Amino acid sequence: MTIATKISSSSAAGMIKAIESGSKHLVIKRFTLRYPEQKLKFIGDGYQFDPKRGVGIAGSRGRHILFHDKCTGCQLCAIACEGIAEAIGMVKVDEQWKHNKKSIMPQIDFGKCVFCGLCVDACPFYALYMTNDYELSSFTKEHLIYTPAQLAIKPKYDGNVELKIDNMGATHG
């Protein structure tokens, strides 16, 4: 248990310290990330879940990616989302897969999704992961509903800017 020292300084000394501190910052590099020209780099491919060990693998939680060759149409992801955002609905697809008897796959409405990743935690077949892609804006609400075919596309994200700290300050560069 300590008592912090009381702040005591005369007025002139305080103002001079403030002016000095402010002027020092005129020579430090600027911190801003200029977004559309510079994009942040993410390590790894996105959030994934290993149902055998029961624990997730760290990664960025962006748009989902659905592996059609693993999804069996068990609906566990839709059931997990029912209490949270109700963003996943199962739809019939045209493809015929041996492991997907009913031919249904999840369709995600990104207007409702909160990107919590509990649907990824619920999938027992390694079929639903999340990726780094967060640039999902569109002009209409209908375009935000991603069908299973759209969800199968691997996104191309090429951010390469990260936070660098050196003795001139911290920058994004």
Partner 1 sequence: MASIIWLILWILIIVSLVGLPLIFIILFYLPLPPVNGEVLTPYLFLSMMVDPTRTLPILHFIIHTDLFKVAVFPGFSFAALLAAVTIFVERKFLAKMQLRIGPLYCGKIEGILQLLADGLKLIAKEIIIPSGADKPIFWAAPIAFVATAAAVVALIPVAPGWVAADVNVGIIAVFAILGFFPLIALLFSWASNSKYPFIGGLRALHQMIAFEIPFFLSALSVVILSGSLNLTDIAKAQHPYWYIFFLPISAFVFFISSLAELERIPFDLPEAESEIVAGWLTETSGMIFGLIQLGSYVKVYALSALFVVLFLGGWAGPQIFPKELAHGPTAGLMGLLTLQGVYNGVTVNAIFWFTVKTLGIIMLMLLPRGISPRIRIDILLHTGWYKLIVLTFINMFIALALIYGGILGPGGLLTAH
Partner 2 sequence: MEKNLEHQIDESEKLGMQIVKESEDDRLMTLSVGPQHPGSGHFRFTIKVDGDYVVHCDPDPGYVHRGEEKMCEYRNFIQNIPHLERPVIHDSANITYSYSLAVEELVGIQVPRRGQFIRAIASELDRQIYTLYWLAIYGIFLGHSTMFMWPTGDRELFIDLMDALSGARVTHAFNIPGGVRNDIPDGFKDKCLRHISYFEKRLKEYEDIFYTNPLFIQRTEGVGILTKEDAIGLGVTGSVLRASGVPYDIRKAEPYDVYNEIDFKVQYMKSGDSLARAYVPLLDMKESCHIMRQLLDKMPESGEVRAKLQPTPKGPPGEAYRRVESGRGALGYYIVSDGSPKPYRVKISVGSFRNMIALPHLLVGSKLADMPSVYWSLNYWPVEADR
Binding site for partner 2 (CB under 8 A): 1-4, 6-7, 9-11, 14-15, 17-18, 20-22, 24-25, 31, 43-44, 47, 54-61, 76, 80, 83-85, 114-118, 121-122, 130, 163, 165, 170
**Residues belonging to the chain:** 173
- Give the one residue of 2, 3, 25, 166 binding partner 1; rule: CB under 8 A: 25
| Residue in 31, 102, 114, 164 binding partner 1, rule: CB under 8 A | 31
Residue 56: count other Cβ atoms within 10 Å of its Cβ.
15
Element (H, E) at 147: none
23: part of which helix (H) or strand (E)?
Answer: helix 11-24
CA angle 134, 143, 157 (to 5 degrees): 25
Choose the one of partner 1, partner 2, none that binds residue 34, judging by a C-beta under 5 to 8 angstroms depending on kind.
partner 1
Distance of CA 168 to the CA centre of its chain: 30
How many whole angstroms separate alpha carbon 66 and alpha carbon 129?
Answer: 7
Tell me which of partner 2, partner 1, none is bound by residue 115, counting a contact when its beta carbon lies within the kind-specific cut-off of 5 to 8 angstroms.
Answer: partner 2
**8 is an interface residue for partner 1 by CB under 8 A:** no
Q: Which parts of this chain interact with partner 1 (CB under 8 A)? A: 15, 18-19, 21-23, 25-26, 28-32, 34, 169
